[in-house]
Structure 1
């Protein structure tokens, strides 16, 4: 499970790093992307991460929470989702206003919004994968039970 999750999370890390790089001191867009392409990349990032977390919260975490305290609503992984989504909503709203032409895209504003939830996002991406590693999963699940898990 951790390897599958790591694959999804690496996609989010890659996109984050491309957006972050475009907003940092170099002043260059990643791979020659236009401002519109950067906006769309950011909006896709927000949408995909939201969708990923929705699947986890609706289909994966409830099953894991039956035996694993890390996935219960009152604990860190789900609290992190809420913090990440608060930041995602702000970033998405800003990028959408740039997409519609209501605002001009300012890289420093995108970076400021990303800074608002970046630390918790990266922590979450790492901790979730660690929690799903075999040595931890073996504490709670048999091999047969693992085969039936929704991932």
Structure 2
């Protein structure tokens, strides 16, 4: 299965090398999904960095009360879960018809979602309990709740945008198909 994905990616890379350069206009068409995904992912990177910096320095940002900080953490978890849900329901099935990385059963990007959500669920549960006053909030515990899945999250954010990049997309989709893609 992993070999199939590598073979498909290698074939796409070979096709890309044989294609003529894209015009600026065509590049924008083929890169549209990557650009849009990068916008979403930058929010996740920014918020993760805010939370992680606080957790590793044991100091929350001065402009946020503890309640506001916990609200940021809850919003981050909810937005990431919703983002992945939308991708898996509406975007990945279409892409998976030609790009195995997006396949619901074997795709590397879907497997990353699964790894992320194992940690994300514990993280979200903890910050919700603290926000509701049912648990004592500690930066050290927050750090523990983030450590196990942070690496795969950052890898995923980069991988997904790279897979949606213009050169990769034009190897498997026509310009007309790209213009009909969601996002």
The two structures share one fold, judged by TM-score above 0.5: yes
Residue 67 (structure 2) pairs with residue 36 (structure 1): yes
Q: Which runs of 4+ in 1 moved over 6 A?
A: none
Q: Structure 2: how far apart are the matches of 1:76 and 1:111?
A: 26
1:84 deviation in Å? 0.6
Q: Structure 2: how far apart are the matches of 1:10 and 1:31?
A: 22
Q: State the structure with more CA Rg.
A: 2
Equivalence for 1:147: 179
1:32 deviation in Å? 2.4
Q: Structure 2: how far apart are the matches of 1:99 and 1:45?
A: 14
TM-score normalised by the chain length of structure 2: 0.80
Equivalence for 2:136: 104
State the secondary structure of the residue aligned to 1:32. coil
Equivalence for 2:9: none
Mark the CA change 1:108 to 1:140 in structure 2 (over 3 Å): closer, same or farther: same
Q: Structure 2: how far apart are the matches of 1:29 and 1:92?
A: 17
Q: Structure 2: how far apart are the matches of 1:22 and 1:142?
A: 45
1:31 deviation in Å? 4.0
CA RMSD across the alignment: 0.9
- Structure 2 gaps, min length 5: 1-32
Q: Structure 1: how far apart are the matches of 2:156 and 2:83?
A: 13
Kindly provide the CA deviation profile for residues 104-135 of structure 1, in whole angstroms up to 9, marking residues without a partner as x. Answer: 11011111111111000000000000000000
Q: Structure 2: how far apart are the matches of 1:104 and 1:32?
A: 21
Mapped contact 1:23–1:111 kept (Cα < 8 A): yes
1:79 deviation in Å? 0.3
TM-score normalised by the chain length of structure 1: 0.96
Equivalence for 1:95: 127
